[in-house]
């Protein structure tokens, strides 16, 4: 997990330095990023008795008992000061960067190897309650700046301020923690444990002592047994392999049974190993390397609780926690990343010197820092883990092995039949969307609606509907329609029609808005009524674009309709799911190939037609 961040940092530095990019930018990114992490990213986990006691404070949160963490703040600021200095000196800035990066990395290393102390938690009040309204106000401010003309800006600001105030009223109200329970006491920090909490920890420990010792015995016994289980499973596997070899000549059902048995034996071996792995983890967590557990003596602040044991229920409820420095949260990784940026950026600056003073570096460096901080959060949120992928790779290999040789005869005709359903779904869904979008797009075009009072009312309504509809994906609509019209292509077609209508309508109306004004004006000047102007002045201009957009949408909808098959709309997607479920990978591979072929053929045709229409 942390490895991902370190690789990311080194790659970033290597790319920048190799391309002769700005080392100062790296340093600024590292410093700004470190400051963000210091206050925002969680560093390491604290555990209580329940999962709801789990907590991961920020470096700032830890700094009340680990004051050395303030160094992160200080060195980051020092880097910024030397970089932003009036007459920056490459040597001084470089040394500062290196020192800062080194400090951060050493701090992390020391923390990782520190003891699993027991601490208390306390909260800094009103953090989210204040930040959320400010966020809303800031969004309003940015939107106003982007959308409004100078004269209207004041209204934007007033509305933003009102929204900020309104949201603030809510977050500070007593109703807020009911609808949004994470709101109160969100930002929690680590503090010294009180004697009262300490007593509770000891009391809980003594109460659980007997149970814990029994648990240890059980795990130890299982651990010993697991060794034998592995040996047995291995032996069974070898035996099954022999049986398969012998029945090779017999063939037919006998061979099939033997192969199945062998597969089963292989699975048992894998299970036995993973069980042992799990037990090993537990042994470490429960400190099984030491002798039996003893009652804790009341030694102030130095708990001799073995590694891996968490505190008990009453202590947890009383806000005592155990710190697990080795259970790093993503802030550990991001902080390491930013430390490396400062270290390598500083080193590069020191030895390479400052090529030229680029003021742009500072803004882009800060932006880079913010982006990496957000990405760091994202990598964690998606549980990005290269190790897990590498560990699981044999399964993908196995998948590929079982997919060859492809079984043409069993599936090809059925697959082609399903393919026609998939194409038809995309076709009819798109046509339906076009039929719905064609008339409505004229109501969503500003240039056609702004002249009459009813147009000015219809325009925002139509636009609003499009935006709403665009947000509800075809898949979601399909599930709704399945409940209305039952499983089958009809639900898919309806969903596709309704969803694509919004996308097409938006594209159509933009084409109308970009239509040449001249011919429209000419027909207006001849006294033609509005509908006739649209038919003879607008439609001929936009029709080729409409067709082009519709074809493009059809390309997309073809791919969507495959996925629709997975939720029961039939077609090739459904077939892929079925073959996959029954483990017929050698048939599935044919279907996937068919889809790849069809996607490319349709794209090729549609792209050519479109080029001719608009090109």
Binding site for other proteins (CB under 8 A): 516, 518-519, 521-537, 540-541, 543-544
Shortest spacing between CB 530 and other proteins, in angstroms: 8
Rounded distance between C-alpha atoms, residue 291 and residue 268, angstroms: 32
Q: Residue 106 to residues 39, 270, 518: CA-CA distances in angstroms? A: 19, 39, 70
The secondary element (H helix, E strand) that includes residue 191 is strand 187-191
CA distance 316 to 509: 60
Kindly state the tokens that stand for 549: 């957009």
Exposed e or buried b per residue across 269-299, where buried means at least 16 C-beta atoms within 10 angstroms of its C-beta: beebeebbeebeebbeebebeeeebeebeee
How many Cβ atoms from other residues are within 10 Å of residue 196's Cβ? 12
Closer to other proteins by CB, 226 or 550: give it. 550
Backbone angles phi, psi at 358, to 5 degrees: -115, 115
Distance of alpha carbon 332 from alpha carbon 110, whole angstroms: 12
Cβ neighbours of 181 (radius 10 Å): 8
Reading the block at residue 123, the tokens are: 């909260």
The alpha-carbon radius of gyration of the chain (Å, integer) is: 33
CA dihedral 397, 398, 400, 401 (to 10 degrees): 120
The alpha helices in 310-407, defined as continuous H runs, are 313-317, 330-352, 360-381, 386-403
Structure tokens at 304: 């001799």
Assess contact for 462 and 502: CB atoms under 8 A: no
Determine which helix (DSSP H) or strand (DSSP E) holds 47, and give its type and residue range. strand 44-47
DSSP structural state of residue 55 = B
- For residue 516, the minimal CB distance to other proteins (Å) is 8
CA-based end-to-end distance of the chain:
49
CA–CA separation, 542 vs 547, rounded Å?
Answer: 9
Distance CA 365, CA 359 (A): 10
Q: How far is CA 6 from the centre of its chain?
A: 19
Nearest 5 degrees, angle CA 258-CA 260-CA 263? Answer: 110
Contact 116, 284 (CB under 8 A): no
String of DSSP letters for 283-309: HHHTTTTS-S--PPP--TT---PPTTP
Per the CB < 8 A criterion, the answer to whether 469 and 498 are in contact is yes
Question: Residue 443's Cα: distance from chain center in Å?
Answer: 38
User: Whole-angstrom Cα distance, residue 401 to residue 365?
Assistant: 47
Question: C-alpha angle with apex 432: 426 to 435, nearest 5 degrees?
Answer: 140
């Amino acid at each position: 997990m942390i490895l991902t961040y370190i690789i990311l940092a080194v790659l970033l530095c290597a790319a920048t330095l190799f391309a002769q990019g700005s080392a100062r930018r790296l340093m600024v990114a590292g410093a700004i990023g470190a400051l963000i992490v210091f206050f925002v990213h969680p560093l390491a986990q604290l555990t209580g008795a329940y999962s709801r006691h789990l907590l991961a404070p920020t470096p700032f949160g830890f700094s009340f008992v680990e004051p050395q963490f303030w160094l992160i703040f200080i060195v980051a600021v020092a880097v910024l000061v030397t970089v932003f200095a009036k007459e920056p000196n490459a040597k001084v800035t470089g040394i500062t960067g290196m020192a800062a990066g080194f400090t951060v990395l050493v701090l992390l290393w020391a923390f990782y190897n520190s003891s699993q102390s027991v601490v208390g938690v306390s909260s800094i009040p009103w953090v989210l309650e204040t930040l959320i309204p400010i966020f809303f106000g800031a969004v309003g401010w940015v939107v106003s700046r982007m959308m409004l003309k100078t004269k209207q800006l004041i209204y934007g600001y007033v509305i933003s301020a009102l929204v900020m105030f309104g949201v603030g009223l809510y977050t500070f109200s007593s109703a807020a923690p009911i609808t949004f329970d994470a709101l109160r006491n969100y930002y929690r920090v680590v503090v010294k444990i009180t004697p009262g909490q300490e007593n509770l920890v000891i009391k809980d420990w003594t109460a659980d002592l007997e149970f814990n010792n029994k648990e240890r015995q059980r795990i130890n016994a299982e651990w010993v047994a697991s060794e034998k289980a592995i040996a047995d499973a291995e032996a069974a596997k070898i035996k099954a392999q022999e049986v398969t070899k012998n029945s090779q000549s017999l063939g037919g059902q006998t061979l099939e049974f033997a192969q199945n048995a062998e597969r089963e034996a292989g699975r048992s071996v894998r299970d036995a190993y993973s069980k042992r792995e799990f037990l090993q983890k537990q042994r470490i967590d429960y400190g099984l390397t030491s002798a039996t557990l003893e009652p804790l003596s009341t030694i102030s602040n130095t708990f001799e609780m073995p590694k891996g044991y968490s505190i008990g229920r009453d202590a947890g409820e009383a806000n005592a926690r155990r710190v697990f420095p080795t259970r790093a949260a993503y802030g550990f990784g991001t902080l390491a990343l930013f430390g490396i940026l400062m270290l390598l950026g500083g080193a590069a600056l020191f030895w390479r010197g400052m090529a030229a003073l680029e003021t742009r570096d500072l803004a882009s460096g800060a932006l880079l820092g913010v982006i990496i901080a957000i990405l760091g959060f994202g990598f964690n949120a998606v549980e990005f883990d290269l190790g897990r992928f590498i560990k699981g790779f044999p399964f993908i290999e196995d998948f590929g092995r079982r997919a060859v040789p492809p079984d043409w005869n069993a599936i090809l005709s059925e697959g082609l039949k399903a393919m026609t359903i998939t194409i038809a779904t995309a076709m009819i869904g798109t046509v339906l969307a076009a039929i719905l979008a064609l008339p409505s797009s004229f109501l969503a075009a500003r240039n056609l609606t702004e002249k009459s009072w009813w147009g000015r009312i219809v325009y925002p309504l139509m636009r609003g509907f499009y935006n709403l509809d665009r947000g509800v994906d075809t898949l979601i609509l399909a599930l709704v329609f399945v409940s209305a019209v039952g499983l089958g292509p009809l639900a898919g077609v309806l969903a596709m029609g309704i969803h694509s209508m919004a996308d097409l309508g938006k594209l159509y109306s933009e084409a109308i808005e970009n239509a040449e004004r001249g011919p429209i004006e000419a027909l207006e000047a001849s006294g033609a009524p509005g509908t006739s102007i649209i038919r003879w002045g607008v439609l001929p201009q936009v029709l080729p674009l409409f067709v082009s957009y519709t074809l493009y949408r059809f390309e997309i909808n073809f791919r969507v309709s495959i996925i629709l098959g997975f939720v029961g709309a039939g077609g090739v997607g459904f077939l892929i799911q079925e073959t996959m479920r029954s483990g017929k990978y050698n048939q599935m591979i044919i279907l996937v190939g068919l889809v790849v072929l069809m996607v490319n053929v349709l794209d090729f045709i549609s792209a050519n037609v479109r080029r001719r229409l608009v090109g």
